[in-house]
Amino acid sequence: MKTLKKYYKISASVPDVYNALTNQHMIEIWTGEKAIFKTEPNTDFSMWDGSIVGKNIKFEMDKLIQQVWFFDEWESQVTIKLHSNKKITSVELVHKNIPDEAFDNIAEGWDEDYFGALAELFNN
Chain segment 72-103, per-residue pLDDT in tens: 888 999 999 999 988 899 999 999 999 999 99
Other CB atoms within 10 A of residue 25 CB? 10
pLDDT tens track for 98-123? 999 999 999 999 999 999 999 999 98
Residue 86: its pLDDT value, please?
81
Mean pLDDT of 11-32: 96
Q: Which residues span the domain enclosing 51?
A: 2-123
Helices (H), 32-101: none
Question: Domains in the chain: how many in total?
Answer: 1
37-65 burial by CB neighbour count: b if 16+ within 10 A, else e?
bebeeeeebbbbeeebebebeebeebeeb
pLDDT at 63 over 70: yes
- The CATH number assigned to the domain holding 66 equals 3.30.530.20
Q: How far is CA 35 from CA 13, 19, 86, in A?
A: 23, 14, 30
124 confidence band (pLDDT: 50, 70, 90): low
